[in-house]
Amino acid sequence: MAAAAPKIVIIGAGFGGLTAAQFLARAPVDVTVVDRHNFHYFQPLLYQVATAALSPADIAWPIRSILRRQTNATVLMADVTGIDPQARLVHAGDVTLPYDILVLGTGATHSYFGHPEWASAAPGLKQIEDATRIRRKVLLAFERAETTDGADEQRRLLTFVVVGGGPTGVEMAGAIAEVAHHALPAEFRHIDPHAARVVLVEAGPRILPTFPEDLAAYAQKALERMGVEVLTSARVTNCDERGVDLEGSRIETGTIVWAAGVVASPAGEWLEVERDRAGRVKVDPDLTVPGHPEIFVIGDTAAAVDGEGKAVPGIAPAAKQMGRYVAEVIAARASNRPAPGPFRYRHQGDLATIGRKAAVVKLGNVHLTGFIGWMFWGIAHVYFLIGLRNRAVVAFSWLWNYLTYQRGARLIVDSAKAQESAGAEKARPQNSPAEPGRKSGRDQVPAAGNDWR
């Protein structure tokens, strides 16, 4: 009788986990993909959902649909609660999954640097739920300002603070400014959305610290032309429902968006192995856990280094490269072929958009800015979306927004109670895939720019 095919369990259907599953399509293995959601989503465009440029369905796809033609793959929607490395078992609620090889691509969640109580006042942007929550807060700020008589309260409601000057923070600040200055001014009668104040707070000496200085300087000037106040060397000391405290000052605001850092999922705790200060599992050159050659860790969950000893950034291209590499190693083992050499990360470029006709792009020694950079950014993002339908919808939405200055996804649909419950949930440590594989930590340290694939 033929030996049973090795059981491969992949936890997290993000960029890394999904890529690994897809590249195992022809391997003699049985693949089980486990994720707490039934969809994979394109995190680089979450901020566009948060600022009403796109709807969630425009950037998300059912995992079962993506893998429907892959006969050796099974998809389970489940919340992973623990792993038994000795028994080689994954515990996911009422389901227990045995494995021969385990791939962990459980991503990352928000890091509040020891202040989890800030989460309810300053939501981060890692999942679809985060994006819709932030969209609701932004739109409700204008609605409440319209019905408020007090000038001080109106001013507070129309002040938006984005904490963190990495790509996510820069894109969020620019997008909120565009909503206020272009999409809404003609629609309100008692307030002037042009008067909205958008503040980008960065603890370091400059924004986009992983980009070259000339591109970071261009991005700051572009933001300032849009009316965004950029505060550098400004450390946040407290966040609450009515404002943000900085060292020596306070900003009264009704909307705070957290884009300052990430921490890895609890995968390292499940395994009880060595982790770095961000909670990422320290892995061997072949992305396996030391002492456990049957366990691979990829994406934001892994503290990996490249061939030169540099930390692999927590971005989508890195997660995809890790997923493909791990699939090649697993396929080689299953076919009794020599495994490839150590993982080598190939950096493919850094991208961040600031707003209408403004972006920064670094491709090797080539730097693009302005309209050309913005077009390159848009084409790259549309190209790497999954599915022709989503590419067409996103491209048309962007064209419509560009021509009309409008944003068509401005629905406030979630109840306040539901949003508050979601915020409370975010304040607790996560115990399963925090995002699909990458959905990766674009703004963690160390990092290397935008996550555009």
- CATH number for the domain harbouring residue 245: 3.50.50.100
Note whether residue 42 is domain-resident: yes
Burial of 180 (0-12, 13-18, 19+ CB in 10 A): buried
Is residue 438 one of the residues assigned to a domain?
no
Nearest to 453 by CA among 44, 168, 20: 44
CA distance 452 to 30: 30
Residues of the chain under the 70 pLDDT cut: 1-3, 408, 414-453
- The predicted pLDDT at position 320 comes to 95
CB 289 within 8 A of CB 264: no
Are 140 and 230 contained in the same domain? yes
**Does residue 253 share a domain with residue 214?**
yes
Same domain, 160 and 237: yes
Do 84 and 21 lie in one domain? The reply is: yes
Whether 227 and 209 map to the same domain: the answer is: yes
Note whether 76 and 20 are same-domain residues: yes
Cα(160)–Cα(265) distance, integer angstroms:
29
Q: What are phi and psi of 207, to 5 degrees?
A: -80, 165
The whole-angstrom distance between residue 258's C-alpha and the CA centroid of its chain comes to 12
DSSP 400: H
Same domain as 131, residue 230 = yes
Residue 66, CB-side half-sphere exposure with 13 Å CA sphere: 23
Statement to judge: residues 132 and 178 lie in one domain: yes
Q: Which of 122, 18, 30, 73 lies closest to 435 in space, CA to CA?
A: 18
Domain boundary among 278, 303, 334: 334
| 434 located within any domain | no
- The parent domain of residue 389 ranges over 116-260+348-427
Instruction: Output DSSP code: residue 118.
Output: G
CATH of the domain at 297: 3.50.50.60
- Residue 3's pLDDT is what? 62
**What is the distance between the alpha carbons of residues 176 and 228, in angstroms, rounded to a whole number?**
9
**CA atoms of 388 and 375, how far apart (whole Å):** 19
Distances (CA, A) of 439 to 40, 126, 226, 442: 9, 7, 28, 9
The residues assigned a catalytic role are 171
**Domain count of the chain?**
2
Predicted pLDDT at 414:
64
- Cis ω on the peptide bond leading into residue 205 (within 30° of 0)? no
Q: Are residues 219 and 170 in the same domain?
A: yes
Q: What is the pLDDT of residue 80?
A: 93
Residue 129: inside a domain:
yes
